[in-house]
Structure 1
Amino acid sequence: MSQRRSLVTGLEETPDLKALERKFVFGDKEESTDVSDATLESVSHTNESVLPQYRGRVPLTTRCRPELASALKRASLKRQLEGKEPYRIQEILEDAIEKWLRSQGYPS
């Protein structure tokens, strides 16, 4: 039977799990594109038109006609094959919504 130890002793002997996790995910090299929470907060609070609870990309779900969804997917794939930007559905939708908001007088 293994030797028993206290919880505090076990925690003190535990290696740095964050470092082990980073090494497992990124390998031996450190990921230099990490964005800290402080950076995200400073970016999100610098723009007054963005609500404080929205950080990064915000999920937005909607339903549309099947014809529209098919046409959007077809356009996305065709643009990707042709090497044209934007080709991701998300980027195409963001561009279209931004243009519509500006045309209606809403700041974006």
Structure 2
Amino acid sequence: MTIFYEKALEDEVLAPFFIDEIGEDLSSEDWFEHIDLLADFWLAKILGENTYYGNFVGAHVKMPHLKRETFTRWLELFSVTADEVYVADIADAFKKKGEQFAKQFLNTRKKI
């Protein structure tokens, strides 16, 4: 996750969003909490562990500056990073889940 966020903070589409919401210092407490929450999220979604009790769509729907292009770019960078970090089968599992979450978010956004 840290590798993804290092890239996101350098990306012209994603960086402004993350910097605005969490800041630009990956070693800050806010980033530590965010990455820890996401570790729980992905453990729950990929491995079925009982680690995440939040609402990822609800947390992001409240952010009106998130657009389809933002989520599309997130998915592109997420997929590239998954391919770099994991063997093909595991990367594909992450990418498939990422695509599902992006579609779920975008479908929810349409209803608002």
TM-score scaled by length of structure 2 = 0.28
Comparing both structures, which one devotes a greater share of its residues to helix?
2
**TM-score of the pair, normalised by structure 1:** 0.29
Question: Between Structure 1 and Structure 2, whose CA radius of gyration is higher?
Answer: 1
